Amino acid sequence: MSRRADRRFMGRALELARLNYGLTGDNPSVGCVLVDPLGRIVGEGVTGEGGRPHAEQIALDDAGDRAALATAYVTLEPCRERSTGEDACSKRLIDAGIGRVVCAIADKHPKGAGGFAALRAAGIPVFVGLKQDDADVLYEDFFNLHG
């Protein structure tokens, strides 16, 4: 994927995250876009109202088998752990066979942080910092409360 395509798809993920901003309870509103190796969007998700389900879970459900080898554009680091005991978003991405993850910003929350390490340990390339300035604004309040 080119840098231009990466910027475009991350822009779409940020658009999705803004849709439920302020509606996700204690969880941040995250956007996730899954793009297959041919550059087609195969799944999209935004954190549900009240904070569940998570954006990655929705996008993966949307994509189904088409998620294999896709690039996941996520506005916030996929979680390492879920308070509900469900599979973490990082594990869901690994199990789906995601080929690459592009993320705007690392999560400072103790249950979120560590998702990148899990993805990398599974051999998935992770790139962090694309459109970080936009994500900083989106997650400033969340990090002030939970960071």
Residues with catalytic function = 56
Which residues have CB under 8 Å from 13's CB, separation 6+?
31, 32, 33, 73, 74, 75, 104
Which residues have CB under 8 Å from 15's CB, separation 6+?
31
Note the residue count of the chain.
Answer: 147
Sign of the torsion angle spanned by Cα atoms 127, 129, 131, 132 = positive
Give the C-alpha separation, 45 to 58, whole Å.
5
- Which pair of tokens denotes residue 59? 């996008």
Give the C-alpha separation, 140 to 89, whole Å.
21
Give the C-alpha separation, 60 to 67, whole Å.
6
